[in-house]
Structure 1
Amino acid sequence: MALDVGDRRVGVAVSDELGLTAQPVLTLVRTNRKQDMKSLGRLLRRFGCTEVVVGNPLYMSGDISPQALKAQAFAAWVREEFGLPVHLWDERLTTTEAHRHLHAAGRPGSEHREVVDQVAAVLILDGFLAARRARQAEPQLRTGEP
Protein backbone atom coordinates (compact mmCIF):
# COMPACT_ATOMS: atom_id res chain seq x y z
CA MET A 1 0.00 0.00 0.00
CA ALA A 2 1.20 3.50 -0.79
CA LEU A 3 0.14 6.68 0.96
CA ASP A 4 0.32 10.27 -0.24
CA VAL A 5 0.05 12.03 3.13
CA GLY A 6 -1.25 15.57 3.32
CA ASP A 7 -2.49 17.74 6.15
CA ARG A 8 -6.16 17.18 5.25
CA ARG A 9 -6.19 14.06 3.07
CA VAL A 10 -4.30 10.82 2.47
CA GLY A 11 -4.32 9.29 -1.00
CA VAL A 12 -4.24 5.49 -0.92
CA ALA A 13 -3.12 3.04 -3.61
CA VAL A 14 -2.44 -0.69 -3.53
CA SER A 15 -0.56 -3.10 -5.74
CA ASP A 16 -1.57 -6.48 -7.07
CA GLU A 17 -0.18 -9.55 -5.28
CA LEU A 18 2.79 -9.78 -7.66
CA GLY A 19 3.74 -6.15 -7.11
CA LEU A 20 3.45 -5.31 -10.80
CA THR A 21 0.72 -2.67 -10.90
CA ALA A 22 -0.67 0.05 -8.67
CA GLN A 23 -4.34 0.95 -8.43
CA PRO A 24 -5.98 3.90 -6.68
CA VAL A 25 -8.21 2.96 -3.75
CA LEU A 26 -9.60 6.11 -2.14
CA THR A 27 -8.76 9.34 -0.41
CA LEU A 28 -8.99 9.34 3.37
CA VAL A 29 -10.12 12.60 4.92
CA ARG A 30 -7.96 13.13 7.99
CA THR A 31 -9.53 13.86 11.35
CA ASN A 32 -7.11 12.92 14.13
CA ARG A 33 -4.32 10.41 14.63
CA LYS A 34 -6.52 7.78 16.31
CA GLN A 35 -9.22 7.90 13.63
CA ASP A 36 -6.64 8.09 10.82
CA MET A 37 -4.95 4.91 12.09
CA LYS A 38 -8.31 3.16 12.56
CA SER A 39 -9.31 3.91 8.95
CA LEU A 40 -5.91 2.89 7.66
CA GLY A 41 -6.03 -0.36 9.66
CA ARG A 42 -9.32 -1.32 8.02
CA LEU A 43 -7.77 -0.75 4.57
CA LEU A 44 -4.60 -2.70 5.43
CA ARG A 45 -6.71 -5.68 6.53
CA ARG A 46 -9.13 -5.40 3.60
CA PHE A 47 -6.32 -5.51 1.05
CA GLY A 48 -4.03 -7.87 2.99
CA CYS A 49 -1.10 -5.41 2.86
CA THR A 50 2.21 -6.52 4.33
CA GLU A 51 4.18 -3.29 3.86
CA VAL A 52 3.53 0.40 3.37
CA VAL A 53 5.20 3.05 1.23
CA VAL A 54 4.81 6.65 2.38
CA GLY A 55 5.61 9.52 0.06
CA ASN A 56 8.43 11.69 1.39
CA PRO A 57 8.06 15.20 -0.12
CA LEU A 58 11.62 16.49 -0.02
CA TYR A 59 12.67 19.86 -1.38
CA MET A 60 14.11 19.80 -4.91
CA SER A 61 17.55 20.18 -3.29
CA GLY A 62 16.97 16.91 -1.42
CA ASP A 63 16.63 18.69 1.93
CA ILE A 64 13.82 17.76 4.29
CA SER A 65 10.76 19.99 3.93
CA PRO A 66 8.28 20.74 6.73
CA GLN A 67 5.76 18.50 4.91
CA ALA A 68 8.38 15.72 4.75
CA LEU A 69 8.72 15.90 8.53
CA LYS A 70 4.95 15.43 8.82
CA ALA A 71 5.00 12.51 6.39
CA GLN A 72 7.88 10.91 8.30
CA ALA A 73 5.95 11.27 11.57
CA PHE A 74 2.91 9.66 9.91
CA ALA A 75 5.14 6.81 8.67
CA ALA A 76 6.44 6.30 12.22
CA TRP A 77 2.86 6.15 13.53
CA VAL A 78 1.97 3.50 10.92
CA ARG A 79 5.07 1.46 11.79
CA GLU A 80 4.29 1.73 15.52
CA GLU A 81 0.56 1.02 15.18
CA PHE A 82 0.69 -1.94 12.79
CA GLY A 83 4.22 -3.33 13.11
CA LEU A 84 4.63 -3.40 9.34
CA PRO A 85 7.69 -2.42 7.30
CA VAL A 86 7.23 1.21 6.23
CA HIS A 87 9.31 2.64 3.40
CA LEU A 88 9.77 6.36 2.76
CA TRP A 89 9.80 7.12 -0.96
CA ASP A 90 11.00 10.36 -2.54
CA GLU A 91 7.85 11.83 -4.04
CA ARG A 92 9.06 15.16 -5.36
CA LEU A 93 6.67 16.49 -8.00
CA THR A 94 4.20 13.58 -7.82
CA THR A 95 1.26 15.90 -7.13
CA THR A 96 2.26 18.07 -10.10
CA GLU A 97 2.57 14.95 -12.24
CA ALA A 98 -0.80 13.70 -10.95
CA HIS A 99 -2.44 16.98 -12.04
CA ARG A 100 -0.80 16.58 -15.48
CA HIS A 101 -2.15 13.03 -15.83
CA LEU A 102 -5.65 14.14 -14.86
CA HIS A 103 -5.55 17.10 -17.25
CA ALA A 104 -4.33 14.84 -20.07
CA ALA A 105 -7.20 12.45 -19.31
CA GLY A 106 -9.65 15.30 -19.87
CA ARG A 107 -10.61 15.77 -16.23
CA PRO A 108 -11.46 19.42 -15.48
CA GLY A 109 -9.37 21.10 -12.81
CA SER A 110 -12.38 21.24 -10.49
CA GLU A 111 -12.39 17.42 -10.38
CA HIS A 112 -8.69 17.09 -9.59
CA ARG A 113 -9.07 17.64 -5.85
CA GLU A 114 -11.32 14.58 -5.69
CA VAL A 115 -8.68 12.16 -7.00
CA VAL A 116 -5.30 13.89 -7.18
CA ASP A 117 -4.14 12.34 -3.89
CA GLN A 118 -5.02 8.86 -5.15
CA VAL A 119 -3.16 9.42 -8.42
CA ALA A 120 -0.14 10.72 -6.47
CA ALA A 121 -0.26 7.55 -4.31
CA VAL A 122 -0.32 5.44 -7.50
CA LEU A 123 2.73 7.31 -8.82
CA ILE A 124 4.55 6.79 -5.51
CA LEU A 125 3.78 3.07 -5.57
CA ASP A 126 4.69 2.71 -9.25
CA GLY A 127 8.08 4.31 -8.59
CA PHE A 128 8.74 2.14 -5.56
CA LEU A 129 7.73 -1.08 -7.34
CA ALA A 130 9.82 -0.24 -10.43
CA ALA A 131 12.89 0.42 -8.27
CA ARG A 132 12.33 -2.86 -6.41
CA ARG A 133 12.08 -4.82 -9.68
CA ALA A 134 15.27 -3.13 -10.96
CA ARG A 135 17.15 -4.07 -7.75
CA GLN A 136 15.95 -7.67 -8.03
CA ALA A 137 17.04 -7.85 -11.68
CA GLU A 138 20.55 -6.47 -11.00
CA PRO A 139 22.18 -9.76 -9.87
CA GLN A 140 20.85 -11.48 -13.00
CA LEU A 141 22.29 -8.74 -15.21
CA ARG A 142 25.72 -9.07 -13.61
CA THR A 143 25.88 -12.86 -13.84
CA GLY A 144 24.02 -13.20 -17.11
CA GLU A 145 21.62 -15.73 -15.57
CA PRO A 146 17.94 -15.69 -16.60
Structure 2
Amino acid sequence: MRWLGLDVGTKTIGVAVSDELGFTAQGVETIPSGDEQPNVSIKRLKELIELYQPSQIIVGDPKNMNGSTGPRAESIHRFAERIERKTGLPVVLWDERLTTVSAEQTLISADVSRKKRKQVIDKIAAVFILQSYLDAHPQKISGGGTDE
Protein backbone atom coordinates (compact mmCIF):
# COMPACT_ATOMS: atom_id res chain seq x y z
CA MET A 1 0.00 0.00 0.00
CA ARG A 2 1.39 3.43 -0.95
CA TRP A 3 0.66 6.99 0.07
CA LEU A 4 1.11 10.15 -1.96
CA GLY A 5 2.18 13.29 -0.10
CA LEU A 6 1.64 16.84 -1.36
CA ASP A 7 3.04 20.19 -0.33
CA VAL A 8 0.73 22.63 -2.11
CA GLY A 9 2.27 26.02 -2.70
CA THR A 10 0.99 29.05 -4.55
CA LYS A 11 3.16 28.30 -7.59
CA THR A 12 4.14 24.64 -7.30
CA ILE A 13 3.09 21.37 -5.70
CA GLY A 14 5.78 19.18 -4.19
CA VAL A 15 5.04 15.48 -4.58
CA ALA A 16 6.36 12.56 -2.53
CA VAL A 17 5.43 8.89 -2.49
CA SER A 18 5.90 6.19 0.12
CA ASP A 19 7.48 2.82 -0.44
CA GLU A 20 4.99 -0.04 -0.71
CA LEU A 21 5.32 -0.92 2.97
CA GLY A 22 4.66 2.64 4.14
CA PHE A 23 8.00 3.05 5.93
CA THR A 24 9.70 5.83 3.97
CA ALA A 25 8.82 8.79 1.79
CA GLN A 26 10.73 9.73 -1.34
CA GLY A 27 10.50 12.91 -3.37
CA VAL A 28 9.00 12.50 -6.82
CA GLU A 29 8.75 15.90 -8.49
CA THR A 30 7.51 19.45 -8.36
CA ILE A 31 4.59 20.34 -10.62
CA PRO A 32 3.07 23.72 -11.52
CA SER A 33 0.06 24.81 -9.49
CA GLY A 34 -1.70 27.99 -8.56
CA ASP A 35 -4.62 29.76 -10.09
CA GLU A 36 -2.91 29.96 -13.47
CA GLN A 37 -2.66 26.17 -13.97
CA PRO A 38 -5.13 24.28 -11.77
CA ASN A 39 -6.06 21.81 -14.53
CA VAL A 40 -2.40 21.06 -15.26
CA SER A 41 -1.78 20.13 -11.64
CA ILE A 42 -4.86 17.89 -11.40
CA LYS A 43 -3.98 16.20 -14.70
CA ARG A 44 -0.41 15.51 -13.55
CA LEU A 45 -1.62 14.27 -10.15
CA LYS A 46 -3.92 11.81 -11.92
CA GLU A 47 -0.96 10.56 -13.96
CA LEU A 48 1.11 10.09 -10.79
CA ILE A 49 -1.79 8.29 -9.11
CA GLU A 50 -2.02 5.95 -12.10
CA LEU A 51 1.73 5.31 -11.88
CA TYR A 52 2.07 4.80 -8.11
CA GLN A 53 -1.43 3.53 -7.21
CA PRO A 54 -1.61 5.16 -3.75
CA SER A 55 -4.46 4.26 -1.44
CA GLN A 56 -4.54 7.72 0.14
CA ILE A 57 -3.29 11.25 -0.47
CA ILE A 58 -1.74 13.26 2.36
CA VAL A 59 -1.92 17.03 1.86
CA GLY A 60 0.04 19.45 4.00
CA ASP A 61 -2.27 21.64 6.08
CA PRO A 62 -0.65 25.07 6.60
CA LYS A 63 -1.87 25.87 10.09
CA ASN A 64 -0.68 28.96 11.90
CA MET A 65 1.77 28.40 14.74
CA ASN A 66 -1.09 28.77 17.25
CA GLY A 67 -3.04 26.00 15.47
CA SER A 68 -5.58 28.29 13.83
CA THR A 69 -6.31 28.33 10.12
CA GLY A 70 -6.04 31.31 7.83
CA PRO A 71 -6.89 32.11 4.21
CA ARG A 72 -4.05 29.96 2.84
CA ALA A 73 -5.25 26.93 4.81
CA GLU A 74 -8.80 27.47 3.58
CA SER A 75 -7.51 27.53 0.01
CA ILE A 76 -5.59 24.28 0.59
CA HIS A 77 -8.70 22.67 2.11
CA ARG A 78 -10.70 23.56 -1.04
CA PHE A 79 -7.91 22.14 -3.21
CA ALA A 80 -7.84 18.94 -1.13
CA GLU A 81 -11.61 18.54 -1.58
CA ARG A 82 -11.17 19.04 -5.31
CA ILE A 83 -8.42 16.40 -5.45
CA GLU A 84 -10.68 13.98 -3.57
CA ARG A 85 -13.56 14.60 -5.99
CA LYS A 86 -11.40 14.36 -9.12
CA THR A 87 -9.38 11.28 -8.11
CA GLY A 88 -11.83 9.33 -5.95
CA LEU A 89 -9.07 8.78 -3.36
CA PRO A 90 -9.40 9.75 0.29
CA VAL A 91 -7.42 12.88 1.18
CA VAL A 92 -6.04 13.51 4.66
CA LEU A 93 -4.96 16.98 5.75
CA TRP A 94 -1.76 16.75 7.80
CA ASP A 95 -0.18 19.52 9.87
CA GLU A 96 2.74 20.90 7.89
CA ARG A 97 3.99 23.54 10.31
CA LEU A 98 7.71 24.12 9.88
CA THR A 99 8.15 21.50 7.14
CA THR A 100 9.34 24.08 4.60
CA VAL A 101 11.70 25.54 7.20
CA SER A 102 13.05 22.05 7.96
CA ALA A 103 13.42 21.29 4.27
CA GLU A 104 15.27 24.57 3.73
CA GLN A 105 17.63 23.87 6.64
CA THR A 106 18.31 20.37 5.33
CA LEU A 107 19.18 21.70 1.89
CA ILE A 108 21.38 24.45 3.32
CA SER A 109 23.26 21.96 5.49
CA ALA A 110 23.77 19.83 2.35
CA ASP A 111 25.31 22.92 0.70
CA VAL A 112 22.67 23.07 -2.04
CA SER A 113 22.79 26.36 -3.95
CA ARG A 114 20.00 28.90 -3.48
CA LYS A 115 18.86 28.43 -7.09
CA LYS A 116 18.68 24.64 -6.73
CA ARG A 117 16.94 24.92 -3.32
CA LYS A 118 14.20 27.00 -4.92
CA GLN A 119 13.63 24.26 -7.50
CA VAL A 120 13.33 21.38 -5.01
CA ILE A 121 12.08 22.93 -1.74
CA ASP A 122 8.43 21.94 -2.26
CA LYS A 123 9.37 18.36 -3.17
CA ILE A 124 11.50 18.06 -0.02
CA ALA A 125 8.72 19.61 2.08
CA ALA A 126 6.33 16.98 0.63
CA VAL A 127 8.75 14.29 1.79
CA PHE A 128 8.77 15.80 5.31
CA ILE A 129 4.95 15.96 5.36
CA LEU A 130 4.51 12.39 4.17
CA GLN A 131 7.26 11.00 6.41
CA SER A 132 5.70 12.73 9.41
CA TYR A 133 2.36 11.12 8.57
CA LEU A 134 3.94 7.67 8.08
CA ASP A 135 5.84 7.96 11.37
CA ALA A 136 2.60 8.82 13.20
CA HIS A 137 0.75 5.92 11.56
CA PRO A 138 3.12 2.93 11.55
CA GLN A 139 2.04 0.23 9.16
CA LYS A 140 1.48 -3.27 10.46
CA ILE A 141 3.09 -5.86 8.28
CA SER A 142 1.09 -9.06 8.21
CA GLY A 143 3.33 -12.04 7.88
CA GLY A 144 2.65 -15.71 7.84
CA GLY A 145 3.89 -16.22 11.39
CA THR A 146 2.24 -15.88 14.75
CA ASP A 147 1.89 -12.68 16.73
CA GLU A 148 4.09 -12.50 19.78
Q: Could you tell me the TM-score, scaled by structure 2's length?
A: 0.88
Q: Distance in 1 between matches of 2:39 and 2:68?
A: 29
1:60-75 superposed matches below 5 A: 60-75=65-80
Matched-pair contact (CA < 8 Å) for 2:58–2:93: yes
| Match for residue 27 of structure 1 among 26, 30, 47 | 30
Deviation for aligned residue 1:34: 2.1
Matched, 1:103 2:118: no
Amino acid across the alignment from 1:65: G
| Match for residue 57 of structure 1 among 52, 62, 67 | 62
Q: Gapped runs of 5+ residues in structure 2? A: 141-146
Q: Could you tell me the TM-score, scaled by structure 1's length?
A: 0.89
Matched, 1:3 2:6: yes
Deviation for aligned residue 1:32: 2.6
Amino acid across the alignment from 2:128: L
Matched-pair contact (CA < 8 Å) for 2:23–2:134: yes
Amino acid across the alignment from 1:83: G
Please identify runs of 4+ aligned residues in structure 1 that moved more than 6 A: none
Aligned residues: 137
Aligned residues: CA RMSD? 1.4
Q: Gapped runs of 5+ residues in structure 1? A: 137-144
Deviation for aligned residue 1:116: 0.4
Q: Distance in 2 between matches of 1:74 and 1:34?
A: 11
Q: Distance in 2 between matches of 1:15 and 1:64?
A: 27
Report what 2:143 is aligned to. Answer: none
Amino acid across the alignment from 2:21: L
Matched, 1:124 2:123: no
| Structure that is richer in helix per residue | 1
| Match for residue 45 of structure 1 among 47, 50, 62 | 50
Say which is worse superposed, 87-96 or 23-32, in terms of deviation: 23-32
Amino acid across the alignment from 1:100: Q
Q: Distance in 1 between matches of 2:89 and 2:15?
A: 16
Matched-pair contact (CA < 8 Å) for 2:6–2:58: yes
Q: Distance in 2 between matches of 1:109 and 1:96?
A: 14
